[in-house]
Amino acid sequence: MVTSNISNPMSSLIEVHMPNFAIIGSGAMGSAVAKRLIDHGATVLTYLEGRSQRTIARAKAAGMVPVDRQELTKAELILSIIPPSEAIKVADLVADISSGMPAPPPFVDLNAIAPKTMQALAARFEGSGVEVLDGAIIGGPPVPGKSGPTIYISGDTAERSRLLEDCGLQIRRLDGPLGAASALKMCYAGINKGFIGLSTAMLLAASRSGAAESLKAELSQSLPDVGRKLSRSIPDMYPKAYRWVAEMQEIADFLGEDDPATTIFRGMADVFARMADDVEGSRVLVGQLDEILARPDIDR
Amino acid sequence: MVTSNISNPMSSLIEVHMPNFAIIGSGAMGSAVAKRLIDHGATVLTYLEGRSQRTIARAKAAGMVPVDRQELTKAELILSIIPPSEAIKVADLVADISSGMPAPPPFVDLNAIAPKTMQALAARFEGSGVEVLDGAIIGGPPVPGKSGPTIYISGDTAERSRLLEDCGLQIRRLDGPLGAASALKMCYAGINKGFIGLSTAMLLAASRSGAAESLKAELSQSLPDVGRKLSRSIPDMYPKAYRWVAEMQEIADFLGEDDPATTIFRGMADVFARMADDVEGSRVLVGQLDEILARPDIDR
C-alpha cells in the first residue's frame, strides 16, 4: 500500500491512499481504463516491450508508466485487458514474474473469454500464491463524465476490486464462483455482438442480391430502432472485427459442442474474420455496408 | 371477373367488382389475410382436404369457402401462404390443376423461401400459361384497424397484385425480377428472426451457467429496448419455432456456401428445431426462458 503526502502535516491526519495498478494491454479499452484510474490519483504501470508505436503513444497519452516486466509486480493489482486470443499468454507472463514472490499481487483477467478458458488460465497460477480474479467489462471504454463501463468481478471474496472502485470504476461483484463474470460476458456479447455479425451478413447479402434499397426502406419503417442501431454499431465494428473473431470462438467454446448454437458462433467468427481481412485489405465489403448505412432513411 | 348486385338497378350504374381469391394455407397468416380480403367484399376459396380440425375451424371462422382442388382455379388469383417447407408441393398442386386451362389464374407465392427456391418453383409452371409472381409478407398477420403487414411483390409487370390492394392489403411492388421479394424477405427475416434465435440460445446458456440474473440486470440497464423486445418476441416464437426451421434453412441456401454466414443459419435452424421439440415435448427450455423473461426487470 502506497500512501502519499506524509510529509505534509495536515494530510497525515487523512492518510490518502494512492494505489499502484499494473495494466497489461493499452489498447482502446486498456488505456481508457488506465486514464480513469490515473484521473483518480492512481499510478498505472504497464509493459510495452514489442508493442507498436501506436500502442506506445496511446499508453503514454493516457499517463501510463512503462516499466520492465518484473516491475509490474510492484502494483497492488495486475489487470489483463487484451484481445481474448492473448489471455493465456499474458497469464503465463504474470505467473512467471510472480513466481517466488512471498506476497505477489492479485491478478484480474478482464478479457472476453469462456469460463473454461478462465479456469485453464487460473490453473496456471496453482501453488503460486497469486490470487486470481475473473472479470468482465461490459460497455465501451470509460469516457470522462460517464460512469460506465460496468466491470463484473467474480471470485473476489477478499474484495480486492474495491481498489478499482475507489479509483472511479463501476464495479459489480458477482456471488458466483470464478467464471461467473466470464459466463455473463459470453451471454451478453453473444446477444450484442452476435446481432452485429448477423446484421452485417444480411446487409452484405442484400447488397449483392439487389435488395439493399427495399431492406433499408422496410427497416426504417418497421424496425426504426434497429436501423439506427446498425448505422452506429456496424461502422464501430470495422476496427474491432479482428478482435471479435477470437471472442466469437470463445462464445462457441462456452456453449459447448452439445449446443446447436455453437455452430452459429463458429460462423460468426468467420464473418468477422472476413470483415477483418476486408478492413485491412480491399475494403470492398466496408464500401457495400457504408453504402447501405449512409442512406438517409436509416442514418438518423 | 365477378360482378355483384347486377339485379339491383341502382348499383348497375356503379359496377362493383367483387373479386374471388383462392388461398392455399389457412394458418394464422393465411386465415388473417383471407379475413382482411373478405372484410373488403372478396370471396376467398380454400382447399382443406387432409387438414387438421383446428385449421378447418380457423378457415371457416375467417369466412373462407372450402372447395375441391380443381375449383381453386375459379379464382382470379391463387395465393400460397404456407410453411416454407411446403412451398414447392403447393406449387405442384397449382400447376397440376391449372394444366390445360386456356387462361389459368396467376399464382402468387407469398412464402419465406430463397430466390433460388422461388426460381425452381416458377420453373414448375414453364409452358403452362400460369403467370407466377414472387411475394413476401413482412410483419405479423393483419389485425383490424392496422394497415400492416406489408406484402412485397416482384415480377408483377401486369400489376395483378392491384386486386389485393383494392381489398385492403398493403402492397409494395418491387422493380426487381422474380426473386427480389424473396431476397428481401430472407434479409429481413435473417436480421429479425436471427436475432430471436441468437438471443434464445444465449438466454438458455445464461440459465444453465448461472448467469441468468446478472444478464437480466445488465440487459435492463444497458440495453433496455432489447430486454423488452425479447420478453415479447421469444414467447411469440414458441408456437412458430417448427416453421422457422425451414425458414432458417432457406436463408442459409440464399446466402450460399461461399458465405461464412451460411453456417450461422444452419445452426439457427438447429436452435429452432430444438425449441420446436421442446415446445411439443417436455417444455424444459420453455420453462427456463420464461423464468428469465418473466423477471420484472425486463418484463415491461
Q: Does A138 touch chain B (CB under 8 A)?
A: yes
Residues 70-129 of A with CB under 8 A from B: 115
Compare CB distances from A225 to B138, B194, B225 and report the shortest one's residue: B225
Closest chain B residue to A257, measured at CA: B267
Asked whether A16 and A4 are in contact (CB, 8 A), the reply is yes
- Closest listed residue to residue B62, CA positions, set B50, B86, B75, B45: B45
Burial class (CB in 10 A: 0-12, 13-18, 19+), B53: exposed
- Average pLDDT rounded to a whole number, residues A111-134: 95
- Report the pLDDT value the prediction gives residue B14, as an integer from 0 to 100: 55
Per residue in A74-119, pLDDT (tens digit) is: 999 999 999 999 999 999 999 999 999 999 999 999 999 999 999 9
B249/B246 Cα distance (integer angstroms): 5
Please tell me whether residue B109 adopts helix, strand or coil conformation. Answer: strand
- C-alpha distance from A127 to closest chain B C-alpha (Å): 27
Sign of the alpha-carbon torsion through B25, B27, B28, B31: positive
- Report the pLDDT value the prediction gives residue B176, as an integer from 0 to 100: 83
Encode chain B (300 residues) as per-residue pLDDT tens digits.
444 444 444 444 555 667 899 999 999 999 999 999 999 999 999 999 999 999 999 999 999 999 999 999 999 999 999 999 999 999 999 999 999 999 999 999 999 999 999 999 999 999 899 999 999 999 999 999 898 899 999 999 999 999 999 999 999 999 888 999 999 999 999 999 999 999 999 999 999 998 999 999 999 888 888 989 999 999 999 999 999 999 999 999 999 999 999 999 999 999 999 999 999 999 999 999 999 987 554 443
Other CB atoms within a 10 A radius of the CB of residue B20 amount to 19
End-to-end CA distance of chain B: 50
- Report the pLDDT value the prediction gives residue A8, as an integer from 0 to 100: 46
- Report the pLDDT value the prediction gives residue A17, as an integer from 0 to 100: 61
Asked whether B79 and B23 are in contact (CB, 8 A), the reply is yes
Place of cell 476486408: A278
- Closest listed residue to residue A243, CA positions, set A180, A178, A196, A179: A196
% residues pLDDT > 70 (chain A): 92
Compare CB distances from B210 to A183, A206, A261 and report the shortest one's residue: A183
Query: Containing H/E element for B154?
Result: strand B150-154
Asked whether B118 and B134 are in contact (CB, 8 A), the reply is yes
- The question of ipTM being above 0.85 is answered as yes
Q: Does A180 touch chain B (CB under 8 A)?
A: yes
Per residue in A9-37, pLDDT (tens digit) is: 444 455 566 789 999 999 999 999 999 99
Q: Is the pLDDT of residue A4 over 70?
A: no
**Cα Rg of chain A (Å, integer):** 21
Cβ contact (<8 Å) for B198 and A261?
A: yes
Cβ contact (<8 Å) for B215 and A180?
A: no
Other CB atoms within a 10 A radius of the CB of residue B260 amount to 20
Cβ contact (<8 Å) for B206 and A184?
A: yes
Q: Does B226 touch chain A (CB under 8 A)?
A: yes
Sign of the alpha-carbon torsion through A252, A254, A259, A261: negative
B298/B220 Cα distance (integer angstroms): 6
Strands A150-154 and A170-174: parallel
Per residue in A255-270, pLDDT (tens digit) is: 999 999 999 999 999 9
Cβ contact (<8 Å) for A188 and B150?
A: no
- Report the pLDDT value the prediction gives residue A16, as an integer from 0 to 100: 60
Between A300 and B205, the higher pLDDT residue = B205
